[in-house]
Amino acid sequence: MDKQQESTWNDAQAIEFSCGDILELVKQQISFLSAIDSRRTLQNDGPVLERAVLRYMHCWLPLLEKHTDSDGKVKEGSNLVVPLDCEWIWHAHRLNPLQYYADCNKLYGKTLDKVGVKSTISTIDETDAIESMKQLWENTYPGEPFEIDYDNENYSGQPPTSLSTKEKTMDYDLADGVKRQSKIYYCVSKPSYFNDIYLEDAIARYKAFIHGIRANPTKERFGVPVYDVDLVWHTHQLYPLAYYNDTNRLLGRLMGHDDTDTDKSPTGKLAVGFQATTKVWEQIYGSMYWKSGAMKKRDTPVSLPIKRRYPSSTTTSISTPYFEKLKLEKVKVVDLILQAVDIRNAPDHEKGDLVVAFEKEPDLYVDGSYDLLIQSEVENKDVAVFECEPSGEIQLTLKSKTTGDVFGTFSVSLEHLAKPEVSEFTVFKWFDVKPICDDDNQNGETEPVSVKISLSSTVPVIAPHYLFMSESEENWYSFKDDAENEAIKINISPENKIIGKVEGSDETFLLAELIEDKWSLVDNKMVLSLDADKTNEDSHIFELSAGDLVIKIFPGRRLEYEPLSDRQKERDDRDFVTAVTFSEDHPYGKDIALIDLKIGHIKVNEDWFVVFGVLLTYILCNLMSDKGYNGFVPGTGDTADAKDSVENGITAENS
């Protein structure tokens, strides 16, 4: 930032919002979105969503209006708690502030506010408040429950006549508004959004976003947010009176939030507006608008083909003493966005021919060197988006694009990301290029060539474990990590007992055995069985169970493992299976491992599942090689044959 840009940024940070502690409110919104994500019937067309819309219009809004004063503020002592389904519809309605303002004033002559209304999510431990609200609700609307059954597919779609005798209609399609808002949780459910420093930066960027609109009132196309900014913007809008007063005070008008434009073409309003927002932002603040963790990486994964939520399990993992024996290194990983923004003091005749090559060694995720054009133009941004370990340095080389001649080198440290408490996720500064030869700088008599680098990072997280199975010594198979370190060796006896041992020890230990028609894994902590039922409604083929913890094995790459790139899509999906766990927090499934049956590779997201995942990989890959399968397809002879193999064991001499 130059002095003017720094002054503009400081002006933006002086903005105050009247909705309260916005950091805490952002966190509350994420918790609320998580609760809605675990009730998918509220997000998709169907009787539950229809019922929620009707309850919102005919029950919640009239009840709220009765407990507000003439300004729309909730009366002191009202102790209102909004039902979750109504809160979700209310949430989407408020995220179109112009429409919400118009509808409220048309129906009630005032804008109904949020302050003073509690969420069932935040009052989950306040039984008195919930019970008091249930009583008020049921007295007001006899026969209409406070909480609806989110899995009930038999709602008629019409409210009891006792709900309302007066028809109140809205121009806004509430169901469509809800469906548009259903996708944001996937984007803000990543670890970065549970980090206070990252969220505080998001709040600072939202202030800058508002100030950018205030400072450029004639630039109508400025105003397309990225996800971190949008999350805070949404939070602000959820408090209608504060949002109305704040935006009128800052901008002289109620600022709209149009989420109806879905044209994603390069010439569409969103794309053009995003380019304009990026350009203005970088001009007035001298910093990057793009930010790692705030940009869209992919569409929301396709849900599993299940009709309803699985029964909630409070068990999310199982401890096993054998994981520590594997001595797997816990590696952290971050997502980075890197750009070479500008160059100064380079000879004019060379400027257009220079590129910056970057590499990072040693690193498990960055292999080789990659070139970046030096560009500040928004329309022609050349950025690198990649994963790497949050430590060491990124080495950069300034060189000729045409000849490959190297002019000098410099580096960007990532050590700030290796600290236990990361305090900064963005680097935006000039770096002096160290010339290859002293003559290049004429012994310091001229200004050094410098390159402006923009680098942003997500919060460091523990990386998944990647293990590869290969034949070792006779009848033994080895599982090695990415660095070729052996984690464990296993083999199978003629009695269908799977034995393990680790590097540097002759000690063996029993990992699994076939008991009757099921595999007992790790001292019977988990049981593997196969469901070959052709009527299986969710298409899983295997099941691992341990008490109320259920892990289903689905054919193909599911959820986060969906193939994205053309290269990934070239692989036959029958080569893969995905392990998915179901719990109270993830009733629609959370992927915890992906097994590549063709090459004997497993990616495991959670430590506790590594040993079980290794055993699962070994058993399934042996079924593939033993029976000559081309993959598992539910409802076919493949699963019937596999069931027979699981129940009768693996041929030891082929293992």
pLDDT of amino acid 640: 47
Strand partners, 358: 370, 396
Note the pTM of the prediction, 2 decimals: 0.89
Residues 610 and 178: their CA atoms lie apart, in Å, by 38
pLDDT of amino acid 132: 93
**Cβ-contact 580, 310 below 8 angstroms:** no
Residues 474 and 492: their CA atoms lie apart, in Å, by 11
Kindly give the parts of the chain with pLDDT less than 50: 161-166, 532-535, 634-655
SS3 state at 191: helix
Domains delineated in the chain: 3-188+200-285 (no CATH), 331-462 (2.60.40.150), 465-654 (2.40.160)
SS3 state at 87: helix
**Cβ-contact 569, 563 below 8 angstroms:** yes
Residues 68 and 113: their CA atoms lie apart, in Å, by 8
The sign of the dihedral angle between the CA atoms of 644, 646, 647, 649 is positive
pLDDT of amino acid 419: 81
pLDDT of amino acid 350: 75
Cβ burial, residue 69 (10 Å; 0-12/13-18/19+): exposed
Token readout for 433 is: 């290029």
Place of tokens 């390159």: 451
Place of tokens 């932002």: 281
Residues 600 and 622: their CA atoms lie apart, in Å, by 9
Q: Taking each helix axis from N to C terminus, what angle separates 637-648 and 610-627, rounded to the nearest 10 degrees?
A: 110
DSSP code per residue over 312-349: P-S------THHHHH-----EEEEEEEEEEEEES--HH
Element (H, E) at 428: strand 426-432
pLDDT of amino acid 535: 44
pLDDT in tens, 16-54: 999 999 999 999 999 999 999 988 889 988 889 999 999
Residues 646 and 530: their CA atoms lie apart, in Å, by 7
**Cβ-contact 645, 627 below 8 angstroms:** yes
Element (H, E) at 519: strand 518-521
pLDDT of amino acid 313: 62
Token readout for 266 is: 């390069």
pLDDT in tens, 492-550: 888 889 999 888 788 888 998 888 878 888 887 888 876 544 445 567 788 888 888 88
